[in-house]
Structure 1
Amino acid sequence: MARTIDYGNLMHRAMRGLIQEVLSDVAENGLPGQHHFFITFDTMHPDVEIADWLSDRYPGEMTVVLQHWFDNLEVGDEGFSVTLNFGNAPEPLYIPYDAIKTFVDPSVEFGLRFETQESEDDDDEAPMEEMAEDDEDDTPKGDAEVVSLDSFRK
C-alpha cells in the first residue's frame, strides 16, 4: 500500500499543540488584555471529567468560557483541568485536547474548529478549519481574500 501524508491529523495535532501552548501561558501569566476563550468540547468523550449534573444537563457537547473567573488551570500533554463557577458553585473539569470541538478567542477573532468525518469505514478526522466567531453579528470584521490555488499550479 502506498504511503501518504495524513495532513488532517497532522493539522489537528499542531492546533492542539497551539491550544496547549496558549493555555500554558495563561496558567502561568493570566489572561492578557481582553483575551478570553470559548471552548466547546464533547461531554461524552471517555476521558472528559465533569460533574454528573453537568453531563446530564449538557449531553453531547458543552461550551465553557475562560474569562473573568477560573481557578486551578493546570495544563498537561493530553488535556487541561480547570475549576469554573456555575451559579456560585465551583466545579472542577478535565478536558482532553482531543475532546475539543472549537476553540475561539473572540477578542482577536481567532477560532479553530475540529471537524470529524463519520463514516462506516473511516474514523479518521477530516482537516480542521479556521472559523470566525460571528454568530450574532453579520457585519464584516475585516478584509478577507479567497485565493485560488490553481493560479500557483504549473
Structure 2
Amino acid sequence: MARSIDYGALMHAAMRGLIRQVLRQVEAEGLPGEHHFFITFDTRHRGVQLADWLADRYPEEMTVVMQHWFDGLQVDDEGFAVTLNFGDRPEPLYIPFDAIRTFVDPSVEFGLRFESHDGPDDDGGGDEAPVEEASDDATPSRPEAEVVSLDRFRR
C-alpha cells in the first residue's frame, strides 16, 4: 500500500481557513482601511444560494466585490452569507468556502486561486468571470493551490 501526504489538499484546507478567518474578522469589525475583496465562486456548487435571476445570468461562475456596501455578513464553518447590492437590488447570497475559485484583496496585492482538475468536463478554458460589484449606488479530484497574479486588478 503506497502512502503519501496530499499537500494539495492540505494547502486548500489552510487557504480556505485563512479566508474563513479574514471574513470572521470583517464580520466582527468591518472592513478596515482600503481593504476589499473580489470573490469568484462556482455558482453550480452544492450549497450555493443565490437569486434565480443571478443563477440564470451566471450559470457557471460569478465574481462579487465586497467593498462599499454589504450587509448581514455571517460566517460559519462551511461558508458565509452576505447581502450585496446589484444595481439598487439587495440580494442575499450564501457561498460555501469549497465553491470559491479565487479570493483577491487588491488593496494589499493579495490573492488566492483554487485549481482543480475535475476530469473530462473541465475544459480548463480560463474564461474570465463577469464582475458584479456591491456598491453604494444604486470533488474527488486532487486540487492544487496557486497564488493569483494581481496584474489584472492594478489601476
Whose Rg is larger? 1
Q: Deviations over 1:57-85 (max 9, x none)?
A: 01100000000000000000000000000
One-letter code of the match for 2:31? Answer: L
Q: After the TM superposition, which segments of 4 or more aligned residues of structure 1 sit over 2 Å from their partners?
A: none
Q: Give the Cα separation in 2 of the matches to 1:45 and 1:37.
A: 20
Contact preservation (8 Å) 1:38, 1:66? yes
One-letter code of the match for 1:55? Answer: A
Q: Give the Cα separation in 2 of the matches to 1:50 and 1:118.
A: 24
Contact preservation (8 Å) 1:117, 1:123? no
% of aligned pairs identical? 66
Q: Give the Cα separation in 1 of the matches to 2:57 and 2:36.
A: 24
How do 1:106-121 residues align onto structure 2 when only pairs under 5 Å count?
106-119=106-119
Shift of the 37–136 alpha-carbon distance from structure 1 to 2, 3 Å rule, reads closer
2:144 pairs with 1:135? no
Q: Give the Cα separation in 2 of the matches to 1:49 and 1:130.
A: 27
Aligned twin of 2:97: 97
One-letter code of the match for 1:131? Answer: V
Aligned twin of 1:4: 4
One-letter code of the match for 2:97? Answer: Y
How do 1:25-64 residues align onto structure 2 when only pairs under 5 Å count?
25-64=25-64
Contact preservation (8 Å) 1:115, 1:125? no
Structure showing greater relative contact order (alpha-carbon pairs closer than 8 Å, 6 or more residues apart): 2
One-letter code of the match for 2:73? Answer: L
1:3: Cα distance to partner?
A: 1.3
1:17: Cα distance to partner?
A: 0.2
Unmatched runs of 5 consecutive residues or more in structure 1: 140-154
1:113 counterpart SS class: strand
Aligned residues: 137
Unmatched runs of 5 consecutive residues or more in structure 2: 121-138
| Farther-moved stretch of structure 1 (16-25 vs 122-131) | 122-131
CA-atom RMSD, angstroms? 1.6
1:132: Cα distance to partner?
A: 1.9
1:10 counterpart SS class: helix
Q: Give the Cα separation in 2 of the matches to 1:136 and 1:23.
A: 21
1:68 counterpart SS class: coil
TM-score by length of 1: 0.85
Q: Give the Cα separation in 1 of the matches to 2:148 and 2:59.
A: 23
